[in-house]
C-alpha cells in the first residue's frame, strides 16, 4: 500500500515499483470522471504510462477482473471508496451509511485480493488535516480512514510518500 497526500508522488512510485516487478503490469483505475479537469488528469496519467501497461477502468467491482499471476497497481482506494459512498442517481436518503459502504468495500477488497497476484494499492491520507465542518466530508473521511487501516493491516508493506520521498512504515 502506498499512501500520502495529494501530489506526494504516490502514483509514480507505485508505477515504478510495478515495473520493477513486471514487464507488463496492470493499472486498475477506479476513478469516476466527474468533469473536464479531472478527465485531463486521467489522460496525463495514461500518457505517462507506456504501452507495456494493461489498463482496466473499474469504478467498483474489481473482482470482475481476473489478474491472477500479474502485478497490478490499483489507483486509488480514495476514489474507489467514493464510488461506494455516493450512489449516483439516488436521493440523499438512499445513500449508504458509512458502515454499509465500508462493509461493501471490504467485501469487494477481500474478493479481489483472493486472487494469486501482486497488488499495489494507492491511497490518500485525507484525515491528516483538521476536522471538516461538513458532515458529508467527515463521514467520508471516516470511511476512507477505516478502509486505509483495513488495507494496511492486510498489506505486506506500507509506504508513506512525503514530498516525493518514500518512507517505509511497514514491511521489509
Non-local CB neighbours of 94 within 8 Å, separated by 6+ positions: 87
Grid cell at residue 60 = 467498483
**Cα–Cα distance measured from residue 142 to residue 132, given in angstroms and rounded to the nearest whole number:** 11
Residue 38 φ/ψ, nearest 5 degrees: -70, -35
Of the listed 5, 12, 33, 45, which one is catalytic?
A: 45
Element of type H or E holding 101 = helix 98-112
Grid cell at residue 14 = 507505485
Asked if 32 is an active-site residue, the reply is: no
Burial annotation 74-87 (CB, 10 A radius, 16+ → b, else e): bbbbbbbbbbbbee
Residue 53 φ/ψ, nearest 5 degrees: -85, 140
Cite the active site residues: 45
Amino acid at each position: 500500500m502506498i499512501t500520502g497526500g495529494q501530489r506526494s508522488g504516490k502514483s509514480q512510485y507505485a508505477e515504478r515499483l510495478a515495473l520493477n516487478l513486471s514487464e507488463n503490469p496492470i493499472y486498475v483505475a477506479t476513478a469516476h470522471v466527474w468533469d473536464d479537469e479531472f478527465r485531463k488528469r486521467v489522460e496525463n496519467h495514461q500518457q505517462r504510462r507506456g504501452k507495456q501497461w494493461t489498463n482496466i477502468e473499474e469504478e467498483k467491482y474489481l473482482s470482475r477482473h481476473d489478474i491472477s499471476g500479474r502485478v497490478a497497481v490499483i489507483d486509488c482506494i480514495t476514489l474507489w471508496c467514493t464510488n461506494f459512498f455516493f450512489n449516483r442517481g439516488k436521493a440523499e436518503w438512499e445513500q449508504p451509511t458509512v458502515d454499509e459502504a465500508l462493509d461493501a468495500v471490504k467485501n469487494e477488497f477481500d474478493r479481489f485480493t483472493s486472487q494469486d497476484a501482486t497488488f499495489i494499492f494507492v491511497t490518500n491520507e485525507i484525515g491528516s488535516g483538521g476536522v471538516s465542518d461538513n458532515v458529508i466530508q467527515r463521514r467520508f473521511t471516516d470511511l476512507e480512514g477505516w478502509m486505509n487501516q483495513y488495507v494496511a493491516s492486510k498489506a505486506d508493506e506500507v509506504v508513506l510518500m512525503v514530498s516525493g520521498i518514500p518512507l517505509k512504515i511497514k514491511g521489509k
